[in-house]
Amino acid sequence: MRVFRWFRSTFLTGLMALLPLGLTAFVLWLLYRWAYSLLGPHTALAAWMRRTLGFYLPGTEIIGGFMVILLAGVVTRHWLGKAMLNGLERGLLRVPFIRKLYWTGRQLSHYLFHPNPTPQGRVVLVEFPHAGSYVLGMVTADVVRPVSQTLGQEVAAVYVPTSPNPLSGWVLFVPKERVLPTLLTVDEGLSLVLSGGLVVKEGEGADSPG
């Protein structure tokens, strides 16, 4: 029995050590595969480089992927790029299944990378699933007018992510006076949710009972 407890404890310790590294490596691998499929040695760009330069420059997919992201940022900061992006978004949001995926990814990326916190994106506490029990959420709309008109009071939309997958969760329509602000940043809130309440900040653990 002691051997089993040691095996279980050691296995869980190793899993906790490798899981963050594995998730990070998996995301980086997906991004690399995307860039490789567009700019790798077996693409039209590689063939053009061989014809023009006489060789293919290794790592072009990494440099090219970085440049594509940078170019997208430059374009979307211009009014014409914003107009094109808005048009593309309106089209995607009309497709039933794609709409959910795109909107979720858009909101999550906005929360993670937006340099200036806004009311749409602050971390709050709301009572759920019953009174006296609280969950962390992120305000996605400060006022949802159609729902507010139906209920006869102003309500905010709060996205409550689940652990360990923040891309699934609930959208709650909560009266504004029952939305409790917190001092947590978005990064801290996501860390707290993803870790199941263990981690508040990178490198900081939650207090355990003495």
E strand intervals along the chain: 123-127, 134-141, 155-161, 169-175, 180-181, 199-201, 204-205
pLDDT for position 180: 92
With 90 as the cut, is the pLDDT of residue 125 above it? yes
- Please say which residue of 74, 95, 113 terminates a domain: 113
Query: Domain tally for the chain?
Result: 2
| Pair 108, 154 in one domain | no
Q: What is the 3-state secondary structure (H, E, C) of 131-180?
A: CCCEEEEEEEECCCHHHHHHHCCCEEEEEEECCCCCCCEEEEEEEHHHCE
- If one compares 129 and 92, the residue with the highest pLDDT of the two is 129
| Pair 96, 152 in one domain | no
| In contact, 204 and 188? CB cutoff 8 Å | no
| Pair 135, 78 in one domain | no
For residue range 69-108, list pLDDT tens digits in order.
777 777 777 777 777 777 777 777 777 766 766 666 666 6
Q: CA 183, 188, 189, 195 torsion: positive or negative?
A: negative
- Please say which residue of 89, 113, 137 terminates a domain: 113
pLDDT for position 126: 92
With 50 as the cut, is the pLDDT of residue 208 above it? no
Interval 167-178 mean pLDDT: 84
Interval 9-27 mean pLDDT: 68
Rounded CA separation 138/179 (Å): 10
